[in-house]
Chains A and B, each alone.
Chain A
Amino acid sequence: MGTILRKYTSFDEMKADEYRYWQSRPVHERMDAVEEMIRTAYALKGWKIEPDLPRSQRPFVRLQCPWR
């Protein structure tokens, strides 16, 4: 998308352009954008992303499927 200013006449048209853009990018770029989004969202909220716990200390929980 870059710095090009585009004019849209509908929200759907704008979203379609967004989808075309992201689908033109490699898969890993879409995945990397999620991490950036997470960090930005946490920063906006003033939350701190806790350093990852050692793997063996991560709680493992079993839950009932809500759709059943």
Chain B
Amino acid sequence: MGAYAVIFHAQPRFTNYIDVFIQADPSNAHATYAALAAFGAALEGIRPEDFAERGSFFRFGRDPHGFGILPEIPGVDFDAAWERRVEGVIDPEGGLKAFFISAPDLIASKLAAGRPQDLADADAVRKALEAQK
């Protein structure tokens, strides 16, 4: 989701972070924790169950290659967004694929977030969709 989803649905733009939207339930929280631990993230003070708590989000790394882990985003329910996700190949040599939030869900979350950049992103995605009609 976030800027990389805007880039997926519209066109490249500058960003310092990759944001990942996760399902906030106990089993997925443990899976998220295990994946981050395997990646090598410094998880001192963070419990697996923290990833199931709504109301906060997590960041690590630093600009311009930072990561955000979001158990919730404004305006969008995870289960419905997961049903509508779209897939893209991000590394053709390795065949690596990634899931992206759908354009309608991305627009909804950006409008709900409401910051100037979010509104500009929502507008860009909407216009990119219109341009392809």
Chain B 2-42 interface mask (CB, 8 Å, partner A; 1/0): 01100110111111100000000000000000001001111
Chain A 3-44 interface mask (CB, 8 Å, partner B; 1/0): 000000000100111111111001110110110011001100
Q: Which residues of A have CB within 8 Å of B36?
A: 60
Name B's interface SS.
Answer: mixed
Docked-complex contact B132 and A58, CB < 8 angstroms: no
Q: Which residues of A have CB within 8 Å of B41?
A: 55-56, 58, 60
B72 to chain A, nearest CB (A): 7
Residue of B8, B14, B58 near A63 (CB, 8 A) is B58
Docked-complex contact B128 and A27, CB < 8 angstroms: no
Given contacts A22-B12, A55-B41, are A60 and B46 in contact (CB under 8 A)?
yes
Whether B49 is near chain A, meaning CB under 8 Å from some CB there, is no
Q: Which residues of B have CB within 8 Å of A17?
A: 131
Given contacts A37-B13, A64-B56, are A54 and B64 in contact (CB under 8 A)?
no
Docked-complex contact B8 and A19, CB < 8 angstroms: no
Q: Which residues of A have CB within 8 Å of B42?
A: 55-60
Q: Which residues of A have CB within 8 Å of B54?
A: 65
Whether B92 is near chain A, meaning CB under 8 Å from some CB there, is yes
Q: Kindly report which residue of chain A lies nearest to residue B88, judged by CB atoms.
A: A27
Docked-complex contact B50 and A62, CB < 8 angstroms: yes
Docked-complex contact B132 and A34, CB < 8 angstroms: no
Whether B83 is near chain A, meaning CB under 8 Å from some CB there, is no
Q: Which residues of B have CB within 8 Å of A27?
A: 8, 88-90
Interface residues, chain A, CB within 8 Å of chain B?
12, 15-23, 26-28, 30-31, 33-34, 37-38, 41-42, 49-50, 52-65, 67-68
